[in-house]
């Protein structure tokens, strides 16, 4: 195996900061971008494409700061276009900005498709080749290492293979060090990619790379196909961010290459940081994580079906394609309608508790009774954890909501408004507080925090980070049960809790209370010396 690894070294070119930010709804500050770059550098990617310095002032600022921002493993790359038609590259302000960016590596994209040259760029086929060669040559003369991104290469090849080839030759004549074949529209098939990349690998002596998009749902397969054909440079983005359907997702490609194709992309031991890196980037970008993402998603190794759960306990390998720990993720047993005692024991072990069989049986009974009333614990493992905590002898709840009231209506301007009061027992004290907001749940959350924070200061560190409402069997209309899922975070970890009731306010309160109580309980557990943790 180790020879294979040595032979198949694939370098990762990350374009999260440039192509990734083309994703609708994603916008990163300069500071965010530097933090993301640091994280990717620690993980061990080979290049970090920071932006297009000639295209906007934000990217220019980033390059100014990047100059003093040393990376330890990766190289900064600046991205830009070939010179405009009929000007010398040294007179093109966009090319000038690329030089001013001051990176060792510059990536230049140019046209390989006749359609694009004649219909989009509207220059002659010959002028396009000159634009490529002269732009690359100037940058090389100025001491830059040039990566050449051949835009629409596969579409161009299908139109006219000899012109597509000539465009690569022009870049190579200019002195480009790497030739990257781009499936810009994301519509290519892996078998075509493999055949075409193979021909280019044989035609050129320099390394060949791949840049894929996911419009046909095939960006990962196309990237792997290119590596099979000899590509040794893979471009993509973390979490697959990018325009339209996104770029090739490095969070999937890296483990596929390392664990399934025997390649080495990251420094030794770094693959185990993949999940953490992916999630940190989602946090920094302020996006909602996709729990179903291969390898790094929260549900990627979650087992729900009763048959599967039983099998997973008998043989770890039976329903997992790789060991989740290799990518820093973990198996999770989802406690579902088929909840048995075994699931509850497994769950308790995961959170570092152990239960007597009779206690586990009482948790199962409680869960089944709640499920019959509309609760669902699939996505609310912290509510399961709370039921396990509460079943243990000696557990004392840090607080208890005795009563509440919310008044909902409109204010004088016709805007929605809500005022909440709560009565909470904390130890032997009873606190009565109020809160207001536009909606009833937010008002109640405020009143509850006002009651808790003075006596339980740890509550201030717990933030409500997601809130979902589902009406069960909506055909019962307003008689239906409402299920509320809440995500609470202490900054390091996030957990989910559930409430259900025919009142949306009551259901929300239950989920809020479980979320806060779980945050306090796990903090208390973490503060106990290890020898007392078990039992």
List the interface residues with a second copy, window 296-355 (CB under 8 A): 297, 299-308, 311, 314-315, 317-322, 334, 337-338
Sorted by sequence, the CB contacts under 8 Å of residue 40 that are 6+ apart come out as 14, 16, 48, 74, 238, 277
Structure tokens at 53: 């310095």
Residue 249 lies near a second copy (rule: CB under 8 A)? yes
* 291 is an interface residue for a second copy by CB under 8 A: yes
Site for a second copy contains 182 (CB under 8 A) = no
State in Å, rounded, how far the first CA of the chain is from the last one: 43
List the x/- string, 487-526, binding to a second copy by CB under 8 A: x-------------xxxxxx--------------------
Pick out residues in 137-156 that bind a second copy (CB under 8 A): 152
> Are β-strands 11-14 and 47-51 bridged in parallel, bridged antiparallel, or unpaired?
parallel
Q: Is 479 in the site for a second copy (CB under 8 A)?
A: yes
Residues 350 and 309: their CA atoms lie apart, in Å, by 14
Residue from 127, 349, 356, 473 that binds a second copy (CB under 8 A)? 473
Comparing CB distances to a second copy, the nearer of 185 and 362 is: 185
Of positions 87, 120, 461, 524, contacts a second copy by CB under 8 A: 120
Single out the residue of 107, 128, 184, 497 in contact with a second copy (rule: CB under 8 A).
184
Among 64, 206, 245, 434, interactor with a second copy by CB under 8 A: 245
Q: Which one, of 107, 116, 142, lies nearest residue 17 by Cα? A: 107
Q: Which two tokens stand for residue 296?
A: 């790094």
469 binds a second copy (CB under 8 A): yes
Instruction: Tell me the site size for a second copy, rule CB under 8 A.
Output: 122
- Chain centroid to Cα 16, Å, comes to 11
Nearer to a second copy, 104 or 416 (CB): 416
Distance in Å, CB of 533 to a second copy, minimum? 28
93 binds a second copy (CB under 8 A): no
| Residue 294 sits in the site that holds a second copy (CB under 8 A) | yes
**Least Å from the CB of residue 174 to a second copy:** 21
Q: Is 471 in the site for a second copy (CB under 8 A)?
A: yes
Q: Pick one of 61, 100, 160, 215: the residue that binds a second copy (CB under 8 A).
A: 215
Q: Smallest distance, Å, CB 380 to a second copy?
A: 9
The residues in 385-414 that bind a second copy, with binding defined as CB under 8 A, are 403-410
* Smallest distance, a second copy to C-beta of residue 507, A: 9
> Would you say 206 or 323 has its CB closer to a second copy?
323
Closest separation in Å from C-beta 394 to a second copy: 25
User: Where are the extended beta strands (E) located within 280-323?
Assistant: 302-303
Q: Which of residues 160-179 bind a second copy (CB under 8 A)?
A: none
Q: How far apart are CA 196 and CA 362, in angstroms?
A: 62
Burial (CB count within 10 angstroms: exposed 0-12, middle 13-18, buried 19+), residue 37: buried
Stretch 415-444: interaction string toward a second copy, x if CB under 8 A: -xxx------------------xxxxxx--
Closer Cβ to a second copy, 140 or 284, answer by number: 284
DSSP assigned state of 258: I
Alpha carbon distances (Å) from 160 to 113, 115, 155: 8, 10, 9
Query: 37 with 50: CB under 8 angstroms?
Result: yes
Establish if 83 lies at the interface with a second copy (CB under 8 A): no
Q: What is the 3-state secondary structure (H, E, C) of 437-476?
A: ECCHHHHHHHHHHHHHCCCCHHHHHCEEEEEEEEEECHHH
Helices (H), 82-189: 93-100, 114-115, 125-141, 153-159, 161-174
CB of 375 to a second copy, least distance (A): 11
Are 496 and 379 spatial neighbours (Cβ–Cβ below 8 Å)?
yes
Task: State which of positions 12-31 bind a second copy (CB under 8 A).
Answer: 22-25, 27, 29, 31
Is 60 near a second copy (CB under 8 A)? no
Torsion of CA 211, 214, 219, 221, to 10 degrees: -160
CB of 404 to a second copy, least distance (A): 6
Distance CA 60, CA 51 (A): 8
Interface with a second copy, residue 449, by CB under 8 A: no
Q: Indicate the burial class of 511 (C-beta count within 10 angstroms; 0-12, 13-18, 19 or more).
A: buried
Of these, 94, 177, 185, 350, which contacts a second copy (CB under 8 A)?
A: 185
């Amino acid at each position: 195996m180790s020879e294979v690894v040595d032979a198949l070294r694939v370098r990762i070119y990350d374009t999260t900061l440039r192509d990734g930010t083309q994703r609708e709804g994603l916008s990163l500050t300069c500071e965010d971008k530097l933090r993301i770059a640091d994280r990717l550098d620690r993980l061990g990617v080979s290049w970090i494409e920071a932006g297009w310095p000639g295209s906007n002032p934000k990217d220019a600022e980033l390059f100014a700061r990047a100059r003093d921002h040393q990376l330890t493993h990766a190289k900064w790359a600046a991205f830009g276009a070939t010179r405009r038609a009929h000007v010398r590259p040294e007179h093109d302000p966009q090319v000038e900005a690329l030089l001013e960016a001051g990176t060792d590596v510059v990536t230049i994209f140019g046209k390989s498709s006749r359609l694009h040259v004649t219909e989009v760029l509207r220059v002659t086929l010959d002028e396009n080749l000159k634009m490529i060669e002269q732009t690359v040559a100037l940058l090389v003369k100025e001491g830059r290492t040039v990566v050449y991104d051949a835009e629409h290469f596969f579409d161009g090849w299908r139109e006219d293979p000899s012109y597509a080839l000539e465009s690569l030759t022009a870049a190579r004549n200019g002195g480009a060090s790497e030739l990257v074949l781009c499936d810009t529209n994301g519509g290519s098939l892996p078998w075509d990619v493999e055949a075409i990349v193979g021909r280019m690998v044989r035609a050129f002596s320099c390394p060949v790379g791949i840049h894929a998009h996911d419009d046909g749902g095939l960006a990962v397969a196309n990237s792997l196909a290119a590596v099979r054909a000899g590509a040794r440079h893979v471009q993509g983005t973390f979490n697959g961010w990018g325009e339209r359907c996104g770029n090739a997702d490095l969070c999937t490609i890296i483990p596929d290459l390392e664990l399934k194709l025997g390649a080495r992309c990251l420094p030794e031991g770094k693959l185990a940081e993949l999940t953490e890196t992916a999630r940190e980037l989602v946090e920094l970008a302020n996006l909602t994580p996709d729990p179903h993402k291969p390898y790094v998603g929260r549900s990627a190794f979650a087992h729900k079906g009763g048959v599967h759960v039983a099998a997973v306990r008998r043989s770890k390998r039976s329903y997992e394609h790789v060991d989740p720990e290799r990518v820093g993720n973990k198996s999770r047993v989802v406690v579902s309608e088929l909840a048995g005692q075994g699931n509850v024991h497994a769950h308790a072990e995961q959170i570092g508790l152990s239960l007597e069989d009779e206690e586990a049986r009482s948790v199962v009974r409680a869960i089944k009774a709640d499920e019959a009333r509309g609760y669902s614990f699939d996505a609310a493992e912290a509510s399961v954890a709370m039921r396990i905590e509460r079943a243990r002898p000696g557990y004392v709840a840090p607080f208890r909501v005795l009563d509440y009231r919310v008044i909902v209506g409109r204010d004088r301007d016709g805007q929605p408004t809500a005022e909440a009061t709560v009565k909470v027992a904390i130890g032997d004290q009873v606190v009565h507080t109020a809160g207001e907001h536009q909606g009833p749940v937010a008002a109640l959350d405020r009143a509850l925090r006002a009651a808790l924070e003075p006596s339980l200061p740890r509550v201030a560190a717990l933030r409500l980070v997601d809130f979902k409402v589902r009406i069960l069997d909506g055909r019962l209309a307003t008689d239906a049960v409402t299920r509320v899922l809440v995500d609470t975070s202490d900054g390091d970890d996030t957990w989910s809790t559930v409430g259900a009731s025919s009142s949306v306010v009551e259901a929300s309160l239950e989920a809020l209370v479980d979320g806060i109580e779980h945050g306090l309980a796990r903090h208390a557990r973490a503060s106990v010396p290890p020898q007392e943790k078990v039992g």
